[in-house]
Structure 1
Amino acid sequence: MKLIRLDLQAFGPFTDTRIVFGEAEDGQDANGLHLIHGPNEAGKSSALRAMTDLRFGIPERSRDNFVHDFKRLRIAGMFVDARRQPVYLVRRKGRGVTLHRPDTKETPLTDAPAATPEQEQQLTGGLTREAFEAMFGLDHLRLREGGNRLLKGEGELGSALFEASAGTRGIASILEALDADAKGLFSPHSRATQAVINEARATLEAQRKVHREALTRPAQWQSLERAHQQALEELTTLETRREEAQRHERDLAALRTVAPLLEELDRLRKELTSLDAIPDLAAEAREERLAAQQARSRAQQDLRDAEAQWQECERRLQAQVIEMPLLAHAASIERLSGRLETVTEARVELHRQQARVEQLDVRLAEQVHRLGSEADVKRLLKNLPSAADRAGLEADLNALAVIGPRLEDRRARLEALEAAEREAQDDALEPEVAASENLAQALHQARALGEMTTDAQALERDQDDLRSQVQQHLIDLGQTNLQAVREIQPLMQAQLDETRDAMDAVDDTLRGLKEEATRLQRDMQEQSRQLEQLTAGGRVVTLDTLREARAWRDALWSRLRQVYVAGEGTPESAINDLDLARPLPESFEAAQVQADHQADQLRENAGQAARIQECQSRLKAMEERHQEIQAQHMQGVREYEALREQWRARLNAQGLPDLSPDALGQWQGRRETLLELTRRLERLERDKSARHEQRRQAVEALRQALTAVGERPAGTDLATLIEQAGAWERQATAAQGRRQEREHHARLRQKDRAALTREIEVMEQEWQARSRSVAAWHDRLGLPVEAVPAAVRARLEELDALEALRVEREDMLAAQARQQSLVRDFQDQVATLADLLGEPPPGSPDDYTGQLQTRLRVARERDHQRAMGLQEQSAAAASRARAREALDIQAGALEALCQAAGVAVEEDLPEIEARADRKRQVRRVLEERQRQLTQASSQSEAELRKRLEGLDVIAIEADQARCQADIERLGQRVAEARRVEERTRRDLEAVDTSDEAAQAREAMESAAACIQGAIRPWMRLRLAHALLQEALKQFRQRSQAPMVASASKYLALMTGGRYTHLEADESQDVPVLKAMRDDGNLIGVDAMSEGTRDQLYLALRLAALELRRASHPGMPLILDDVLMTSDDVRAGLILQALAQFAGAGQVMLFTHHRHLLEVARGAVDAHALRIHELGMERCAG
């Protein structure tokens, strides 16, 4: 939506402030450049925030509540929607629905309907607050940051166009950050170890080896496990015996504790039996008796005091004397006393008013004498104008008083203008000087070349520096011929990586085989040592030896059956064939015995045999693996040498030195640096030649231009010619300026003369009309026809003064009558009161009234004293009754205590109370001892007495000492058994490698989880990097041509033609943005000044918004002090560019610099510019 009016109803420092951007309902006249100016503290920042808050809502913690409360914040605006219809919307501070569309401003928001979703979508353009501020908002800081980013990105085209289009910041830095974060997670380089995935992968491989080694279980585990079980059983037995001893010792300690308690119980029960005859009194019986006796004593004293007080009150009441008639008429006396001061003042006022009436009579007579006869005065007063006529007459007189001096002033100014015009016509006009465009263009180009003198010196220094760098790089590369270096064919980085990875893979394989062979050798030595330990006691039967013995036995048996059962062969031949030392039957019996014996031994030492068998199997497997490793190692060595030969052949074919891939990569990098230095040196030499030719052409062009304008060239030096041409140009510019100034003054005088003529005509017409209106009053006021307006005003003042005196005299006479009536009424009321009191009429009413007031006060004081006396007497009687009641209550309480104690008189109560208290104490101690007995032992009292029969304390203590000695001895044995158990357990844990394997397995799982957790973020980062690069590429391809063309137009406007257009330089790896100067030089962003970079960024932003204007119709471009560092010339050029952009939209420029208003008026056409002054545009309601 397009904004055509902003109503700041209650926001920031504003109250009912209106800023009008257009008058037409379709919003066509709202387009253009709007310059919104406000001095410091005028609310510019609040108005700027209101532009955004109206569209997207007032924030929860708004800073604009320093005048209006949060709940009263209101912003409204008149918009034009997509159908070109006006829509009035109001935004309030709050939650929920805050955007309303009331019919008028006076409509309460509670009754106004909410804005429709379509209206909200058009109002925001489908953008968020952040997106709107980034795309359509720009302040000085962001403008300067945009220029700096262009410099840091070295004008990279894609980033520059994308950032300017979206309003984002630092696309290049985002790409670098994405790449750095991805490398922090994973680096494809094989030698990288700091990345998360690389480090986790190395950890996984290391822990996998540890886990494989930890799976071998040592042979002595079973014996250590049996030792640990025996130590554990011994520890359990000793702990059980110690617990039994400790339990017996606790029982003895309990018996030792309860013996004195049982003796104490017997004594207390005996004493309690002796006190059975004493009644059980309450514990507070003594306190109740003492309290009752004290209360009785107090009641007796209170009775005596109350009786004495009642007698004293009765005596004072009998002595009181009171005037009762005064009390009966107290209201009348007080009313007259209240009027006494008023009556006295009325008498004084009567005398003062009489004197004033006499003074007014004298002044009236004098005034009538000055005006004429009394009859004429009455006629004049009758003809005084009414209030309405008086207002009209005053308006005419005031207007004549103002018009007269102003009319004289305008006539004098008109005469001065005519005189100045005559003088200007008489002056001789200076001859016009025709400025030569050829000279101006030649001078501009020559100055540009003159500014390059310092650049040429720097260029020479750069050439010398580059030559020394090229020579040093040739030495570093071990080369002498630059052409040979150029002819070398470098390898691609992928080829280097491929060769290095292949060599590293073979190297890693060889290193892994070597490490595995070392481990196998160490494991074989360990297994051989274990096998020697197992077989140290002699020949050990194993499953293999048992199989051999049984096989020999079966062979002898088979031959025995053949010889002796089947009759095949002879015993001698069998002995010879089998190489037997004894006959065949005896050899068979010995073999059978040996096989059975080995079977028995194998059963007895099955564990040892199994371990020997296991060691032998492992040794055999390890030897086979060792042979495989040696074969694989020889194959790896051959592969590595083959790779080296292939690498050397490739290097020779490419003409490269014999280096490793990493070293060759660095060598090729240095070669590329050398070639880049060479290209830069060649470019500098070409630039030097081109600049020399440009300088020669500029000298020739400047000499020709000076000759053409009639100037003789002063030599062939460029600086001298520039100075000569500049002097001629300044003279021509001064002459032209003087002529333009005269023409400007002439136009101003003509304009002022026409305006003064119109003003004089209007003033003369108004003067004549006002004079005719005043002349109609001359006769009614008794003035001659030729009387001036001052005389009319003086006569009106005289008549007003006379009328005022007459009115004041009548008011004084009426007031005098009122005061006399007041005094007479007071005298009558005083006489009536004296008659009611039975007293004679007073001679002085005032004195009599004062005496009555004094007597009334005395009578009231005595009546009050009498009432207080009656109250005191009544209180004394009540106290006396209460004292008697208290005496009766306390006597009853003492009698009840005597009955409870079983005594006749209260003097016997203390002794009974003391014995009852002792009985209560014995019972309490008895209960306490019984509770202690219960806590000391869980057995009953009868059981404890039964166990203590025949025992004394000495025997219990001796038995307890023996138990404690046994406990201490068993504790020592338990400690020793625990140490043995801990030692065997540690030995068992030391050889049990299952924990190490579990830890290795846990580390492997942790490393795998780390890789799994990091791979997805790494993939997202690489994908984001690729997508952003692709988006930049596509955006550059799609928007490069139209956006660069549009930005060229705006940059040319902002720089006054110094930069003609922009170009995309695609000679490098990444296309960059360059600007063509008016001298034909194409420069990069790094060669621009800071202000020009800011102008370039602003031109790109305008071009981007121009291309996207159709997708967000009606959205204004809001700028905040973007010209604060620009001089007036540059500011005027930028304002012209903004005005051209605003031809089809709105540009709102906020500033607090007043001089920009004049700059804008001089640079921008009036129909394209509207200036708004904050604080001056207010609406009444």
Structure 2
Amino acid sequence: MRFQRLDLLKFGKFSERSLELPDSTTDFHLIVGPNEAGKSTLRAAILDLLFGIPVRSPHGFLHPLNELKLGASVSNGETSLDFVRIKAQRQTLRTPADGVLPDLALEPFLGGIDRDFFDRMFGLDHFRLVEGGNDILNAESDIGRILFQSAAGVASLGTVRDQLAAEADKLWAPRKSTERAYYAAADQLELANGALKKASVRTKVWADANSAVETLRESLEAARTSWRELDMRRARLERVRRLAPLIDALSQNDAALELLKESIDLPEDAAQALSQAERDIARAEAGLKIRKGEVDAAKESLSAISVDEPLLSAEPRIAALEARRVRYEPYARDIERRKSEIQALQGDIRRACLDLKWAYESEADLLLNLPSLLIRRKLSDLARKASGIEQTLKAAEASERAKKSDIGSLEAQLDCLSEVKVTAGLRAALRKAQSLGDPAQVPEKQRALAEKAEAGLDAAMRALGVWRMNLEDLSKLQLPSGEALSRRLRERQNLDAQVKSLSEDLSEQISAVGEAELRVNQFTELRHPTTYAMVEQARAERDEKWASVKQRTDDFEVDAEQFESAMQDADTLADTHLSNVEDVTELQSRKDELERQQHAQTRLEHQLETAKEQLETFSAEWSALTTAAGLDGLPLEDASDWIRKKDGALDRGHALLEVQTDAQSALNALASATQELRAVLEENGVAQVSDENLSALCIQAEHLISEADGVKGRREALNGQLVTARQVYAALQDDLTEARKELASWAADWAATLSDAGLDAAYDTGTVEGALELIGEIEEKARKACGIQAERIDTMKADLALFAEDVEALCGTIAVPLGDQEPAEAVQQLVIKVRLANEARGERERLTAALRAAEQHVAELETAKQEAEAIIEPLKARAGVSTREALAECIAQSDEKRRLLEEASRLRRDLTAGGDGQSRQDVEAEIAAANLPEIATEIAALSGDLKTVVERQGALSAELATAESTLTAIGGSDAAAQAEGQRQEALSKMADAAERYVKVFTAARLLRWSIDRYRQDKQGPMLAKASAIFAELTQGSFERLVVDFDKQPMVLEGRRPDGKHVGISGMSDGTRDQLFLALRLAALEIRLEQASKLPFIADDLFINYDDARSAAGLRALASLAKQTQVIFLTHHHHIEALARDTLGDAINVVHL
């Protein structure tokens, strides 16, 4: 199965996002995004899409849980399916059109796997990669565990097995220990049996003990009754002593209340209210005196202030005039400066007109008579063109003369060239000779190649070791194929592993037999059980003695005594046998266990012998095969490597033969090329052909050909140059004519334009350019002078005139005479008056506000005084008084009455609490009847009597407990039932421990068997694939993975290119991670060959890898992508560049 498309419709941070995953030969998809871009969400989405969204999904933070939705398009090569997964209780698979799909619609694509298996087998992230590397280190000495948990993706498999073994050891083991559940239950059973035997009853003893118990109980009850009576008397006296002061205080309180019964009850806070009201009244009266003085002072100050309102109403106009005055103040000085500027400009204009011989009256007339801008620009343009036209004419004349000279020179050179010709055969013979290389180095090169090939062949032959033979014999060898050798090697490894496993099991079984024998011997020595066989033997001896008695008549007494002794022994043994039947059963059980262990040992010995015979048969077959091939003693482990070296030696031999053949062919080619080149040189007219080697002939041929080519190229070049020169000469003549015409036209245009500009016709271009500059300067300065007069001087005069009119109008409006003052001076005086008027108005406003505030304070104080008096009035009315002094006295009486009532209530509560349920009248009667001065003496006497009674109770209680214990111990109790219950409980615990032990021990053995079985079946193919991947991941740092069969147990190691082996503990953390990755990918490839193909999800596996090993990891994943779809998630953008450099366009990159 593969994903064609993933739709993140409403999931996590995604909304309506689709990821296209197109199919290709290398089905590799790189998904890149920054942190928190949603890569982890994408991994979770794939699981939820395939297996359902959990009830409590953590991805409902953006969309409501009931709206979560995912979609995809999947295919398995034969069929495809577009579907949607929603969050619901049922019918969660839907079509894109929201049609219901069956719950098993994905089953043909998933192949029956569940969520956990898919996540474990087809998912790998950095955390699992590191965890897998650490687990490999922990399982270093167990190759089966390494392969199994790497293939299954199950981490900490060793922890599970260790936990099972530890639990089994806590349940049962051959060695007895109180910490083991079975033996603890056995001890409990033994104690219960002993208690059961002791639980018997005798009637007389029980009756005496029961009578003693009843007598002690009666004595104890009488002592308790006496104690209760004494305690009641002491309690009554204590109550009288404790409550007498309370009764006295309560009587006094009642008398005081009787005196105040006519007083009026006022509120509890009446005194506080009266005090607060008096303080408020005093504060208000003091404040009124101060505020009324402030009101009078403010009114007096207001009457002395006068404000000029008309002047203040004109304040905005005055402020505007003041601003204009400030702005116009520099106008007088500026006007004078501008007039000076105009005079300076007029002087410059006058001098320029004198240079041009023009008359100057005014700037306006001068501007009207100046040449127009078009005429001046035309003059400037003609002046610029003059030098160009003259230069063009001179250049045309010079070029025409030079080109005519060039044509004559070219014609002379062509006449002097002589013709040299060579044949095509000479060129072909030279090319053939040159293709052979340096003739002097060809023999040396071929000899070096031959020596190198011979050295390679010699090294390859030496690598064959003691099985070295000639090439012909090597080529005739008939050896097994690589697959057959691998199969034989796996068979040999399986046999070795079987022998070692059986040896280990036999060793453990021998120990188990020894422990079983020790348990039988120890139990026999400790318990000395009487077996049925011993009873049978004693009975046989008894019967023998009886037969002797019946047969003999003499020595009858001696035989009778022996018979009686034998009969007594037999009966004693029979009784003993019946009494310790449990010991006999236990002994028989241990003997049965010993017999089973011995049987298992015999079976393992037979299996080990069979396995050794199979290994010897396999070794003999291999030895016969190698001896027949002439490779006697070649180990099977080295056979594949030796065959590879043999093939290398044959390849070296073939290479040497090819080098020798090529050397002879090269020498023949040199001789042929030399003869051919000498003949062609003679045909081409070379008078003296060299008799030396091919190099000299090549030099002669090259010289002749170079000379002929040089003459031919020179002639062709000169002819081409001559044709070009003649064409250029004709064009130059035309250019010269055009240049002369252009000069004549310019002269006529120049004279006419000078006349239009009013300039002397004799002016040359330089003079005209100067005149144009003067005309431009005159125009600029004339316009500037006119602008200063109109825009600055006239404008400022107009502003000053309007300012004077506005000042005069304002003074008339506010009735202020202007007199002889200047407008600016008058405005300054008005500004001062406005400031003084504003100050007077501000002071008036301030005093008015102060007056209003003081009057408001007076009103507030009068209100406060009235409110305080209003608070007191109800209290006066209730108390029936008219003055505050009388009210204060009434409040004091009310508070005292309230205090006495509260005190009476408190005393009654204390009396109730300490009266032991007695009423006040009862307590007063007890106090009246008691002799208060003698109470302390009576209490002390009663305490002494109570102490005596308590001691008596203690003694009787101890005697009663002893008597009851004796009665319980001798019978009439449930001791036998309890003992039997404890016995059954112990048996139940032993049965539970045994059952749990069988389950745990079996689980551990099954786990061990699964690991060994997986190692036996998968070790060869998986290690072969993992070796190749591991070598690539480590960049050749490790050549392959090997298994050390000589160690117990077998261990997995890495082999360096120099042959050195490195154990897992000797590898770095990163290398162990790469080993785990290699094993996981190899196991996945083996599974893909046998089961349904599913996408492999990898999440940032190369965080701790450098670029080289990251590229190697990408290549390994790309190799896996040729078998199944690979989706690689990362937030490292350099991985994208590295993947493109490593894999090219074979990958599909998706950005989140």
- TM-score, structure 1 normalization: 0.49
- TM-score, structure 2 normalization: 0.50
